[in-house]
Amino acid sequence: MNTELTKSAEDILGFIGYEDNIVSVGNCTTRLRLNLRDKRKVDVGQFKKVEGVLGIVETKEQLQIILEPKKAKILITEFKKVYEFKNRI
C-alpha cells in the first residue's frame, strides 16, 4: 500500500461528496471516471492539492479526474479500495 496515494484517494473521495454521492466508478489508463448523484457537492478547487492529480474534466454525465501517468494505476486502485471499504460500512 502506498500511503501517500491512499491519502490522495481519501482526499478525492471527500472532495466529491463521499461515497453516497457516487453512482458508478470507472477508469481508463490515466483517468478516474465518476458518475455522481449531485455534482454540486464536488469541490473542484481542492483537486489541485491532491498528489497525482493533473486536472479535472466535467461532462454532463461524468467527473473525470486526470491523473499523472506514473501514479494513475496505483491511485485508481487505492481509490477503489477506499470507496469499496467505506461503501460497506
| DSSP per position, the chain | --HHHHHHHHHHHHHTT-GGGEEEEEE-SSEEEEEES-GGG--GGGGGGSTTEEEEEE-SS-EEEEE-HHHHHHHHHHHHHHHHHHHH-
pTM, whole model, 2 decimals? 0.90
Residue 39 has a pLDDT of 93
Residue 1 has a pLDDT of 58
Active-site residue, 7 included: no
CATH number at residue 32: 3.30.1360.60
Residue among 14, 11, 16 nearest 42 (CA): 16
- What residues contact 89, with CB distance under 8 A and at least 6 apart? none
Our count of domains for the chain comes to 1
Kindly name the residue from 4, 24, 28, 61 that is annotated as catalytic: 28
Residue 55 has a pLDDT of 96
Averaged in consecutive runs of 10 residues, what is the pLDDT profile of the chain (89 residues)?
Answer: 88 95 96 96 93 94 95 95 79
Identify the domain containing residue 40 by its residue range. 3-88
